[in-house]
Structure 1
Amino acid sequence: MSHPELIVPNNLLDEFKSCTQLQYSGKLNIKSSEGHKWAFYYRLGRIVWATGGTHTFRRWRRQMAQHCPEIDIEKIPLRFEDISIDCWGYRLLEVLHEKQKIKREQIKFIVENTITELLFDLAQQANFASVSCDRNQEVILETPISLTNADMSLKQMQDSWKTWSAAGLANIYPDLAPVLRKAEQLEQLVSPSVYKNFVNFINGKYTLRDLAVKMKQSVLSVTRSLFPYILQGIIELVEVSDLPLPVTKGKNNSTPTKLKTSLAPLVACVDDSPQVCKILEEIITSNGLRFIKIQDAVQALPTLIRDKPDLIFLDLIMPVANGYEICAQLRRISSFANTPVIILTGNDGLLDRVRAKVVGSTDFVTKPVVADKVMAVVRKYLQATSTAKSTSSAADLSLGH
């Protein structure tokens, strides 16, 4: 039986090799034809840090739980701007090290495992989609805490992918979460203790990588043990959203103990198109924010009033109630007087813009929606809203201090 070989495009391998040979300092940005993005940070030809993929926050949480169990992530006070930069994870590690909360050796493990994980994802994606590369020297991580040999990392990537594919797992993504679909059938096949573990952990909340950490096994062994049940349809692998970090919203308090900690800002999308909602959800959640979709215009107002999102994307053309009417109704409610309402439209006409302004919209985004434009608008208005609500933040681990 033959197994798929690692087919990484030559331009990708050449780019990694060039960065090493040229002792490059800066970012190496990689993008797949399916829209997945990765960034590898170099310092003098060695990889310092890596970001991107599907679960940026979930991955950082997992690495911290594994290598820094003494740190309670939920109690780290963070501002939105602390986690809005691309290399936020590395900066957080720097701050924790400066404050003597974690040791250099712990950071080394986290950096190396993060790079290894993202290289594996890149190898798997490159087998099913083309990738493009470009270099950017706007961000250079000075005085890196850990340096990784890129050539060695690439070899590890190739070895781990060969082992993974040889086990028949080429089409299994480690960031998918197993969920038990046929409990009765499983109960007949395994012991009561094994069945109990399946019910407790195979619930669609934990990815294969999350389970590996919980079970203190490799993701390969965990996936291989579940694979027969996946083939039988007893277990299904599903996509799960990222797990944002808690964001602190200050109220002019001078001490961290008085700060209220909440989840990341909530972004709502009111659009009857499932495709638009899905694209926006991927963009928003991959940047660490929470997301809700409302595809029924009739339910838009009661749902928005209940959930009170920090920013709303609103489609203009919908059946029953259009975007103009919903926006006008929102502006009559005091709690939504200053909430950013971004109009989504396929028609960037002057008449639409004027009418949308009249009913109180904040800005426009034209379809098809793209990540750069969406996040530019989100950052612009969420930061403006945050500044208006709070003039200072005294977070003990804030990256701004």
Structure 2
Amino acid sequence: MMCSDIHIDDVSQDKKQSARELLKSLELSRDGCVYFVRDRVRWSFYIVRGKLVYASHSLDSFERLERHLRSLSREVPSLNDKLRSQLRLMFDDPSPEKAKYKVTSEMLCVEYLAILWLVDENYLPKPMAGKLVARIIQEVVESFLCLPNGNFNDIYYEHFLQQTYCSLSIDRIVEVVNQRLKAWYSLGPTIRSPYQCPYLVSQSTAEKSMSPETVQRLGRILRGFNFCQLGALLSKDPLAIAKQLSILISDGAILLRDPLSPFDMLPHTYYLAPEAEQENITQLSETFVDEVSSGDDIANISQAFKSQSAKTWKIVCIDDSESMLSIISSYLGREDFQVTLIQDSMKALMKINSIRPDLILLDIGMPNVDGYQLCTLIRKSSALKDIPIVMVTGNKGIIDRARARFAGATDYLTKPFMQADLLKMMMRHLL
């Protein structure tokens, strides 16, 4: 593997450049991977014959893959929750000692290896892999083009993808994304990022625009997910969701919170431009005002949320630590979760049999019967074998993950975790 500095289009490294200029200059790059590091985020672009065949950035790339796989699962049923969890256990291991992908990931994004595996194992047809890759490219380019002008240090790698599934004209993808960014900009300054998290804070205000039943469903799904995650849940474009919710945001029915880590490191779609540029940007935004009326927006978002289940999910949490059970209970303390806390692993199996939960959160390090043993026992029960089991542990090593997988675990949650991490786990396996 050889890598070397490359000065694309002979542009001086001392000259401030725009992300758009840099991306368009890749049309003249050799086949391979060109990546840029800016504000601690690594942006990777894979080029073949001047076309863009993949793109990624270093912030939780597997979460991005999971979201797009979830959206595609409506067209490809094999991309179900169980398979997506299997992918995470196989490929998304943060342990530095995991040597299998340690070197490769410097030149080849680990999530792309997961896509290759899906195609090779016949879970994902090649045309659908092309659609998946195109959607990922669009999302990455959308964030990249929001970067302010500055100095970009670029590195070129000769190593290349084993197989490609789509080939996009850089001119065309820049044109499409620029139109989307104008639309995002028109929603500012309140909505300034696809990774902001909307929360329902006033049911009475929302009920002026939609039925109480729809408002209830709206509140159940707006529980810490950002616009991109909501897009995956509802199978809709995040931009469309932001437009439709903007009415309720303006009315004060919905409160927007800043992007959660690590997405707070990504640039905003709305920013305060230099005064000399502000007038031009304002005029540009005005030319892209959505002609859909407010009533139509409310009708659209109402229809999307009407399809959401009103089910109360039964969650069993098994942990010998009373403080950990208390934390999990507080994180899930909502009317749509019925949480059962179990401290004694010896009695857990009997209780699980009587409850028949929708999901089990299982600590690994417990006395008497540990999490691995209990998980194995649960999987031997014909009545319980298909319940998602999430192993909760402070251990991050490959051996621990392998043992969890062999015991029959569906997924893996590493301590310490935030409420958003737990809710994302709920999204993967329940919604």
Q: TM-score, normalised by structure 2?
A: 0.51
Equivalent residues in 2 for 1:320-359, closer than 5 Å: none
1:123 aligns with 2:145: yes
Among 153, 156, 171, the alignment partner of 2:176 is 156
Cα distance in 2 for partners of 1:221, 1:256 equals 38
1:73 aligns with 2:101: no
User: For 1:237, what is the secondary structure of its paired residue?
Assistant: strand
1:165 aligns with 2:176: no
| Aligned residue in 1 for 2:248 | 229
- Opposite residue 233 of structure 2, the aligned amino acid is K
Cα distance in 1 for partners of 2:198, 2:41 equals 22
Cα distance in 2 for partners of 1:155, 1:252 equals 43
CA contact 1:27–1:139 (8 Å) conserved in 2: no
| Aligned residue in 2 for 1:63 | 68
CA contact 2:194–2:238 (8 Å) conserved in 1: yes
Percent of aligned pairs with the same residue? 16
- Computed over aligned residues only, the root mean square deviation of the Cα atoms, in angstroms, reads 3.7
1:193 aligns with 2:213: yes
Equivalent residues in 2 for 1:376-395, closer than 5 Å: none
CA contact 1:177–1:208 (8 Å) conserved in 2: yes
CA contact 2:127–2:165 (8 Å) conserved in 1: no
| Aligned residue in 1 for 2:23 | 16
- Opposite residue 236 of structure 1, the aligned amino acid is L
Cα distance in 2 for partners of 1:83, 1:230 equals 43
Among 106, 112, 118, the alignment partner of 1:96 is 118
Equivalent residues in 2 for 1:168-179, closer than 5 Å: 168=188, 171-179=191-199
CA contact 2:17–2:150 (8 Å) conserved in 1: no
1:188–1:111 distance in 2 versus 1, CA, 3 Å: same
1:256–1:170 distance in 2 versus 1, CA, 3 Å: closer
- Opposite residue 12 of structure 1, the aligned amino acid is A
CA contact 2:32–2:156 (8 Å) conserved in 1: no
| Aligned residue in 2 for 1:215 | 234
How far 1:75 moved relative to its partner? 3.0
1:229–1:209 distance in 2 versus 1, CA, 3 Å: same
| Aligned residue in 1 for 2:34 | 27
CA contact 2:17–2:151 (8 Å) conserved in 1: no
How far 1:109 moved relative to its partner? 0.9
User: For 2:66, what is the secondary structure of its paired residue?
Assistant: helix
- Comparing 164-173 with 259-268, which one deviates more in the overlay? 259-268
Cα distance in 2 for partners of 1:240, 1:83 equals 27
1:150–1:265 distance in 2 versus 1, CA, 3 Å: same
CA contact 1:78–1:248 (8 Å) conserved in 2: no
User: For 2:231, what is the secondary structure of its paired residue?
Assistant: helix
Among 106, 123, 134, the alignment partner of 2:154 is 134
| Aligned residue in 1 for 2:54 | 49
- Unaligned 5+ segments in structure 1 are 1-8, 269-280, 291-401
User: For 1:38, what is the secondary structure of its paired residue?
Assistant: strand
- Unaligned 5+ segments in structure 2 are 1-15, 264-389, 426-431
CA contact 1:43–1:140 (8 Å) conserved in 2: no
CA contact 1:167–1:224 (8 Å) conserved in 2: yes
User: For 1:61, what is the secondary structure of its paired residue?
Assistant: helix
1:10–1:186 distance in 2 versus 1, CA, 3 Å: same
CA contact 2:33–2:44 (8 Å) conserved in 1: no
C-alpha deviations, 1:348-388, integer Å up to 9, x for none? Answer: xxxxxxxxxxxxxxxxxxxxxxxxxxxxxxxxxxxxxxxxx
1:197–1:267 distance in 2 versus 1, CA, 3 Å: closer
Aligned length: 257
- Opposite residue 56 of structure 1, the aligned amino acid is S
- Comparing 177-186 with 103-112, which one deviates more in the overlay? 177-186
- Opposite residue 78 of structure 1, the aligned amino acid is M
How far 1:23 moved relative to its partner? 3.7
CA contact 1:46–1:147 (8 Å) conserved in 2: yes
Cα distance in 1 for partners of 2:127, 2:173 equals 18
How far 1:74 moved relative to its partner? 1.4
Q: TM-score, normalised by structure 1?
A: 0.55
- Opposite residue 211 of structure 2, the aligned amino acid is S
Cα distance in 2 for partners of 1:11, 1:252 equals 42
C-alpha deviations, 1:185-209, integer Å up to 9, x for none? Answer: 33455311321221121121x2112
Cα distance in 2 for partners of 1:153, 1:226 equals 26
CA contact 1:23–1:46 (8 Å) conserved in 2: no
Cα distance in 1 for partners of 2:145, 2:402 equals 47
Cα distance in 2 for partners of 1:64, 1:174 equals 18
